[in-house]
Amino acid sequence: MSDTLTPAGTGTAAPARPVYRVTGPRVLRAEWAKLWSLRSTWITLGLALLFLVAFGIIASTRFNSLTGSARMPRDFARSTALSLSLFGTNFAQLALGVLGVLVTAGEYSTGLIRSTLTAVPRRLPVLWSKAAVFGLVALVTGTLGAFTAFLFGSRIVAGTSAAMGFTHAGVVRSLLGAGLYLGLVGVIGTALGALLRSVAAGVAVLVAAFMLIPGLMTLLPSTWQNDISPYLPSHAGESLFTLTPDPTVLSPRSGLLVFLAWTALSLTAAAYRLLRSDA
């Protein structure tokens, strides 16, 4: 038996490993996959939908049962099918905002952020992708919940003073505005998580900004309230889905610009810290 000799340098070379480039679409797909791989995503989005639809139905049912009764509160009597259906918006914003904080701050608590930033060393595409992906998901969830709540609520109060349909002037715009508001709340939550890098701190700031501070405004003199209150994030955002704004409240267009400014401010602060601080 003879051996076959292979000349040096003529052996079969190992196949070259493919070179992967970090691109925007690939980062978006990665963040999309990470978002839906978490059980908390499904649970929290389900809760947001439940809050919107269930509380809207409860408020509409209560209005229907009190119609024509002396027990009807004066403020409640001026409600419309739209305002009753969107009664659960404040609860849904808390669920979506908290999930937004978890999307970014959760990676810091588990240490996964180091792997993420190693794969995407430029860093900022990670923040933009997280905000875009979750903002879109929150937008779709909020819009779906708002339209579903109004679909049921308008049928419950049909024949009462609050009766209103989709063809009523401003209804579709308000429902879309509610979805946009909830989507931007999700983006702000994502930015707070990246800025503070702590789930507890992010949730605390979110609750303070959207629930505590607006309530504390009632302690200020009325002139201060009129000058400051409309520009708070929650009040500016509420103007997006208010059918007939109060004269002291911003118009839907002005409210949108103010709320977008708050969103941009939170993202800018998060981007600055992401670039300047180690993970």
Q: Sign (positive/negative) of CA torsion 181, 183, 189, 190?
A: negative
- What per-residue confidence (pLDDT) applies to 15? 55
pTM of the model: 0.89
- What per-residue confidence (pLDDT) applies to 207? 95
Tell me what percent of the residues of the chain surpass a pLDDT of 70: 92
Residue 199's nearest CA partner among 88, 40, 47 is: 40
Question: Torsion over CA of 39, 191, 213 and 92, rounded to 10 degrees?
Answer: -30
Helix, coil or strand: residue 79 = coil
Give yes or no for residue 91 having a pLDDT over 90.
yes
Give yes or no for residue 248 having a pLDDT over 80.
no
Q: Please list the alpha-helical segments (H only) found in the chain.
A: 24-36, 39-66, 74-77, 81-85, 89-110, 112-119, 124-156, 171-196, 199-207, 213-216, 222-228, 233-238, 252-276
- What per-residue confidence (pLDDT) applies to 220? 81
Residue 153's nearest CA partner among 15, 260, 58, 89 is: 58
Mean pLDDT (the chain) is 88
**What are the distances in angstroms from CA 40 to CA 30, 45, 96, 104?**
17, 8, 11, 13
Task: Tell me the per-residue pLDDT of 234-243, one tens digit each, with 9 for 90 and over.
Answer: 999 999 998 8
Residues near 28 by beta carbon (within 8 Å), at least 6 away in sequence: 129, 132, 133
Contact 144, 101 (CB under 8 A): no
Residue 236's nearest CA partner among 205, 260, 202 is: 260
What's the rounded mean pLDDT across residues 90-119? 91
